[in-house]
Amino acid sequence: EADIYQTPRYLVIGTGKKITLECSQTMGHDKMYWYQQDPGMELHLIHYSYGVNSTEKGDLSSESTVSRIRTEHFPLTLESARPSHTSQYLCASRTSGISLYEQYFGPGTRLTVT
Amino acid sequence: AQTVTQSQPEMSVQEAETVTLSCTYDTSENNYYLFWYKQPPSRQMILVIRQEAYKQQNATENRFSVNFQKAAKSFSLKISDSQLGDTAMYFCAFMKRFQGGSEKLVFGKGTKLTVNP
């Protein structure tokens, strides 16, 4: 399996709380991504980064924010969690080199907001 | 707009049999990349196989092979000699690179495959 890690794996939290989902990779990849996977399993890109201090919003509008201060670290933050944020969040990364564009995925964080 | 359609929400197959998962995509571009990803229950998503659109030869990885029909915009996955460990969600994905280095990976809605003993 790929060297990309997400913590926590499971999180149950009350409405209004601030949370940060961690994602780290040890492969030196410059490109990193956050996907939201709904109960029907469909994946939607919510954020991506092509390097340090570079972040962009994805296709699906999200109230979350991200930062990329270090190459290996790409945390996602929700300032005020709501039940509509309940979902699985997947982090992925890939190199810009000649890799045939394969993205490596983390194990995911399953978030439940009560 | 690029879209990826997996028309089979669920499929099942007997162990040791062969199964084919369908995927069609929509694009006006000529150079792009296609992938099949596997997501086992409660485990990480992993790449099964990839195909570059400029290559006419179908990709093969052990028991997994694709039937890439560029004109028909079809990219099906064939799993031979199915094993219990093949039970998973399978996602077809399309990626296109843009000038300037940006890229977009679009996933289908997935096909849930169950391999029965």
pLDDT given at position A1? 57
Q: Decide: A110 and A9 in contact? Cβ < 8 Å.
A: yes
Calculate the average pLDDT of chain B.
Answer: 92
Q: Taking the alpha carbons of B94, B35, B56, B12 in that order, is the dihedral positive or negative? A: negative
Q: Which residues, given as ranges, of chain B have pLDDT below 50?
A: none
Instruction: List CB contacts of A62: < 8 A, sequence separation 6 or more.
Output: A36, A46, A47
Q: Which of B108, B113, B105 is nearest to B64 (CA)?
A: B113
Whole-angstrom Cα distance, residue B104 to residue A43?
Answer: 13
Residues of A with CB below 8 A from B102's CB?
Answer: 50
Which residue of B44, B50, B103 is in closest CB contact with A102? B50
Residues A36-51: what's their mean pLDDT?
Answer: 89
| Rounded-to-5 percentages of helix, strand, coil across chain A | 5, 50, 45
In this predicted structure, the answer to whether residue A42 has a pLDDT above a threshold of 90 is no
Chain A interface, best mutation among B35, B92, B94, B105, by max A CB count within 10 A:
B105
Residue B36: what residue type?
W
pLDDT given at position A60? 82
Give per-residue burial for B39-60: e unless 16+ CB within 10 Å, then b. beeeebbebbbbbebeeeeebe
